[in-house]
Amino acid sequence: MAVAVRVNRGGTARQMPPHIPAALDWATSRRVARVQPHLVKKENGSILTLPGDPLYPGPADVEPLRETRFVLEDGRWRPVPASSKGVPRA
C-alpha cells in the first residue's frame, strides 16, 4: 500500500520526494553533508545564511539549497532572496 506524505517544502524537505518509497530511495542514495549556518548581525536585525548565499563565509561544497538566506521577523526565521540587501522590515 502506497501512502502519500505531505511534507513541508522548506529546507531539505523541499528536495525530498512526496511518497514514502521514493523518499526512502532518495534518502539512501544521497550524501549527507553537515551544514553550519552563519549568523550575520546587522543594525536592523539578523540574517542567517547557508552555503550558496553570497554572505556565507566559505565554499558552497554541498548540494545547492533553494533558500540560503533567512531573516528573523516576529520571532520566526523567514526565507528571503539571497539578493536582498540588508534586513527587510515590514
Tell me which of 1 and 31 has the higher pLDDT: 31
Q: How confident is the model at residue 13 (pLDDT cuts 50, 70, 90)?
A: low
Residues 6+ apart with CB under 8 A from 37: 48, 49, 50
The predicted structure's pLDDT at residue 78:
92
User: What letter represents residue 17's amino acid?
Assistant: P
Per-domain boundaries in the chain = 1-30, 34-90
The predicted structure's pLDDT at residue 38:
92
The predicted structure's pLDDT at residue 90:
43
With vertex at residue 19, the alpha carbon angle to CA 13 and CA 21, rounded to the nearest 5 degrees, is 110
Q: Is 24 helix (H, G, I), strand (E, B) or coil?
A: helix
* pLDDT, tens digit (0-9, with 9 covering 90-100), for 36-88: 899 998 888 889 998 888 888 877 677 777 888 999 888 899 999 987 665 55
